[in-house]
Amino acid sequence: MQIKLTKENLHSEFVKLIERISGEELANCYQCGNCTGGCPVSYAMDFGPREIIRLLQLGQEDTVKNSNSMWLCVGCLQCYCRCPKGVSAAKILEALRQITLRKGEDHEQIKEIPFPFMKNAPQQAIVCGFRKFVS
Ligand code: SF4
Ligand code: SF4
């Protein structure tokens, strides 16, 4: 299947939803890659921030939803600081997380987290983790 950059993909309902939640305009990204270059966790992501935005521009909604990128972003804002177009990939990834969590789809199941881990992990990490991974 040939993937094309079309007006329909660039302004799909999914893209509009992300833009409404994040306040960002995906078409502003011209794919320079500065965001991914500075991202401390892009090495572990299925797709770095630049690629996530490109996939969304190309209408590859399912690929983005099934990737681990939104769950690994630590919100450090390095991507935003480096972006010459003022696009915040962090906000876009946060919007993707919110879309999933608002559907009640938890990324982590609390009851499956081992008790010894819960007992020893810093309280702040647990609270932050729940906020990020649980609806
Ligand atoms: S905010 Fe997220 S995507 Fe942006 S640089 Fe930090 S970890 Fe990477
Ligand atoms: S730094 Fe900005 S313009 Fe460059 S790829 Fe990342 S989001 Fe797009």
The identity of residue 90, as a single letter, is A
103-133 burial, b at 16+ Cβ within 10 Å, e below that, comes to eeeeeeeeeeeeeeeeeeeeeeeeeeeeebb
Residues 99 and 111 in one domain: no
Token pair, residue 47, equals 């797709």
Examine the domain organization and report whether 111 and 74 are in the same domain: no
The predicted-structure confidence for 35-57, as pLDDT tens digits, reads as follows 999 999 999 999 999 999 999 99
Q: Which of 10, 35, 45 to mutate to test the pocket of ligand 2 (most atoms within 8 A of CB)?
A: 35
- Tracing tokens 């008790």 back to the chain, one arrives at 115
User: Are 57 and 29 in a shared domain?
Assistant: yes
Atom 8 of ligand 2, residue of closest alpha carbon? 29
Q: Identify the pLDDT of residue 111.
A: 87
Ligand 1 atom at minimum distance from 75 CA: 1
Calculate the alpha carbon distances from 124 to 4, 85, 91, 128 in Å.
44, 34, 22, 6
Please give the Cα distance from 17 to 40 (Å, whole number): 27
**Assigned domain for 22 exists:** yes
Average pLDDT, rounded, for the chain: 94
Answer yes or no: pTM beyond 0.75.
yes
Residues spanned by the domain of 124 = 107-135
Whether residue 57 contacts residue 36, with contact meaning beta carbons closer than 8 Å, is answered with no
Question: At a CB cut-off of 8 Å and minimum separation 6, what does 90 contact?
Answer: 49, 73, 75, 76, 77, 79, 80
